[in-house]
Amino acid sequence: MSWADVILIGFLIFLVAGVYSSVGLGGASGYLAILSLFSIPHDVMATSALCLNLLVAGMAFWNFRKKDFFSWRLTWPFMVTSIPAAYLGGLCKSSFRVYSLLLGMVLIAAVFRLMMDRRDENQPLNVKIPSLEVAFPVGIAIGFLAGMVGIGGGILLGPLALLWRWGSAKQIAATTALIILANSMAGLLGRFTGGNFRISSLHLFIFMIMAAFFGGLLGSRLGANFFSNRWLKRILSVILALVAIKLFYTSGSGIR
């Protein structure tokens, strides 16, 4: 891979980390979309995305929690079920066809998440904390898919929580950030145990880490203290939708 590709990947990761962290997400679906465009093996993609997730989601959680948006009551049922499920998902090996279909569905979920209109980021409207009968199965499903595909799960939990009004947008951002952090750790452990832990070349990996750090730092601070840049999220959602279409096409044709 040329240095021009490395710099382009780093720049795109910086943008993704900034936009995603502003709403409490780690950005794994965005990193996967970027890396898929450069013909990187899917095991490397998943491992790299989880590592970047740890960094960005950790910063997002720290910044949203500092502003008192974190609710332990909302978060714990998803954590206790999604963490072991993410570990089990990380143990699974999948074919390129299955992986592409799953990743495509995750990216479509990301599009809906980013396109959602968040009119009031601070005040919850008729908040209804989910019962354990609802939260436990949701946590298991999200965790397993997160570990298998190489994401933190927040991109799946966020839309559900917003649609069902389980908290305000910023409370949900704090919850999803912590869920992503925990599930990324569990997913990485599962991949390591299952022999699926692979990273890219060292210089590319370091460059991605640096880009994610600065993007996540900037985005999470802006998201916790100011309004998010909706137009950036909408542009990103279009990119994710195009990549998802590409993945659906290649999974059907068998070409990368």
pLDDT at 135: 94
Q: Is the per-residue pLDDT at 121 higher than 50?
A: no
Q: Is the per-residue pLDDT at 236 higher than 60?
A: yes
Instruction: pLDDT band for 140, please (50, 70, 90 cuts).
Output: very high
Q: Which stretch, 43-52, 75-84, 119-128, 166-175, has highest mean pLDDT?
A: 75-84
pLDDT at 244: 80
Query: Global pTM?
Result: 0.80
Q: Is the per-residue pLDDT at 13 higher than 90?
A: yes
Count of positions (residues) in the chain: 256
pLDDT at 137: 95
193: Cβ contacts below 8 Å, ≥ 6 apart: 87, 90, 91
Instruction: Say which amino acid occupies 45.
Output: M
Higher pLDDT, 17 or 224: 17
Mean pLDDT of the chain: 83
Are the C-beta atoms of residues 168 and 124 closer than 8 Å to each other?
Answer: yes
Q: Which domain holds residue 94?
A: 3-253
What distance in Å separates the CA atoms of residue 29 and residue 50, rounded to the nearest whole number?
10
242: Cβ contacts below 8 Å, ≥ 6 apart: none
pLDDT at 234: 66
pLDDT in tens, 141-163: 988 988 887 777 887 788 788 77
Higher pLDDT, 220 or 98: 220
Write out the DSSP string of 151-169.
Answer: S-SHHHHHHHHHHTT-S-H
pLDDT at 233: 62
Residue located via tokens 């009004």: 165
pLDDT in tens, 44-86: 888 898 899 999 999 999 999 998 889 999 999 999 999 999 8
Q: What is the mean pLDDT of residues 20-25?
A: 86
pLDDT at 124: 46
Instruction: pLDDT band for 232, please (50, 70, 90 cuts).
Output: low
CA angle in degrees (0–180, nearest 5) for 8-196-6: 10
What distance in Å separates the CA atoms of residue 16 and residue 216, rounded to the nearest whole number?
8
* Percent of the chain's residues with pLDDT above 70: 87
Long-range contacts of 243-247 (CB under 8 A, 24+ apart): 243/33, 243/36, 243/37, 243/107, 244/33, 244/103, 244/104, 244/105, 244/107, 244/108, 244/111, 245/104, 246/36, 247/36, 247/100, 247/101, 247/103, 247/104, 247/107
Closest CA to 186 of 18, 77, 27, 53: 53
pLDDT at 255: 44
Count the domains in the chain. Answer: 1
